[in-house]
Structure 1
Amino acid sequence: MAIKVLLYDDNEALRHSMEALITEEQGFDLVAAMPNAETVETDIRELQPDVVLMDIDMPVVNGVEAMRRISAINDKLPVIMLTVFDDNENIFNAICAGASGYILKRYATEEIPSAIRMALTGGAPMTGSVARKVLLMVPPAKTTDQEKSNLTEKEMAILQYLVNGYSYKMIASELKISIDTVRFHIKKIYDKLHVHSATEAVSKAIKDKLI
């Protein structure tokens, strides 16, 4: 079954570009592309998307406020912020509102398809430069030598790629394994490090010097 994607972006040229990208990607179904999020509550209820791509800087209702409204309806629905902004305030506000990921528009063509799939499997897709800023916002977790030693050589390699901002597809290509195998290893990493997302795993790896 196709992944139903709902898009919000007030920039007409960028919106059309994203429409083309999603429509041409196999396995995706663009249910709507909206110029603003004024009707977001109705849209979510009627269109029943699997994932939402949300621009931050929009008139009437901005992306962060729209994210809050979506969370009030369905806090499990993945919402990926799609924006030109990579400043700390916008990142912090989006994540606090419940965003699942944060992708810069200049990397959208390369990152959006894999980011959508990652968000749907519980990941937290972020452009590399954004992920590094997020690390500074996440408090350090307590890690033991046992946790580090429990990671296999392959898991350590995958964790390093996550830290470097690689997508699941890019990791699979680098290691010459399938994306499903990457997902399997990442789930094992989450279990061993007692985390629930890629952001937490990367944060723990950096702050507790696992790699």
Structure 2
Amino acid sequence: MEDTVTTSRIVIVEDNEVVKDGFALLLNGIDKYEVVNSYIKCEDALKNLKSDSPDIILMDLELPGMHGVEGIQRIKKELPEVNIIVITVHEDSDLVFQALCAGASGYITKTANYSSLLEAIDEVNAGGAPMSKNIARMVVESFQKNQDSPLTKRETEVLELLSKGKSYSIISEELFIHKETVKSHIKNIYFKLQVHSKAEAIEKALKDKLI
């Protein structure tokens, strides 16, 4: 019996035709990826979001019409579970930080080689958040913690590591706790913050200065 290959449905939102077509050509040549559609504007991607039903969206920020950050916010509102990877010419900018706060799962630069793109997609599929140390530092250090946080010290530590893109396994190793304990803490975090996903938890934590 052959192993069943799970295919990730991918949408590309990029106004640079060379970048857009290059990514699509690469990804469609790999069995586990399928580019179901590509657009040059967020507005068009939003119109077809339900029919495209993507697992991953590769999203540029500087787009004609609606800006990518607003597009990310609206897409995550309609499709909370989708993973959005920012495609950017910037590697250390407030725009990338804003995009992550809006719900993006990570980012790649337009100058990145194809192996970096595939690594970023695989990392997102594995529950990670591909980003540079500079951007990760901005996420963690750009705000002060709220002293009235509903989260316990351990829950806050777990959420901080999640915001850095750490997987459940890495969190369990760094905090010296079982992986199931990590999952239990995350469940409690979701309940206390009244959210339903990692992205929503991090977004709310950043907004309310909980981490």
Matches of 1:116 and 1:17 in 2, distance apart?
Answer: 15
Q: Report matched runs for 1:182-201 at 5 Å.
A: 185-186=169-170, 188-189=172-173, 192=176
Counterpart of 2:106 in structure 1 is: 101
User: Are residues 1:19 and 2:24 paired?
Assistant: yes
Matches of 1:10 and 1:70 in 2, distance apart?
Answer: 18
Counterpart of 1:61 in structure 2 is: 66
- In the alignment of these two chains, the number of paired residues is 165
The CA RMSD over aligned residues, in Å, is 3.3
Amino acid at match of 1:95: L
TM-score between the two structures when normalised by the length of structure 2: 0.65
How far the C-alpha of 1:70 sits from its partner, in A, is 0.5
Can you list the C-alpha shifts for 1:5-41, whole angstroms capped at 9, x where unaligned? 1111001111111112212233101111111111222
CA separation of 1:104/1:120 partners in 2, compared to 1, >3 Å: closer, same or farther?
same
Amino acid at match of 1:94: A
Where does the alignment leave 5 or more consecutive residues of structure 2 unmatched?
1-5, 146-151, 187-197, 203-211
TM-score between the two structures when normalised by the length of structure 1: 0.65
User: Are residues 1:39 and 2:44 paired?
Assistant: yes
Deviation larger for 116-125 or 29-38:
116-125
SS of equivalent to 1:106: coil
Can you list the C-alpha shifts for 1:165-204, whole angstroms capped at 9, x where unaligned? 9xx9xxxxxxxxxxxxxx784363377475877xx9xxxx
Matches of 1:32 and 1:87 in 2, distance apart?
Answer: 29
Where does the alignment leave 5 or more consecutive residues of structure 1 unmatched?
148-158, 169-182, 201-211
Matches of 2:174 and 2:128 in 1, distance apart?
Answer: 10
Q: Report matched runs for 1:67-78 at 5 Å.
A: 67-78=72-83
How far the C-alpha of 1:49 sits from its partner, in A, is 0.7
How far the C-alpha of 1:57 sits from its partner, in A, is 0.6
How far the C-alpha of 1:58 sits from its partner, in A, is 0.5
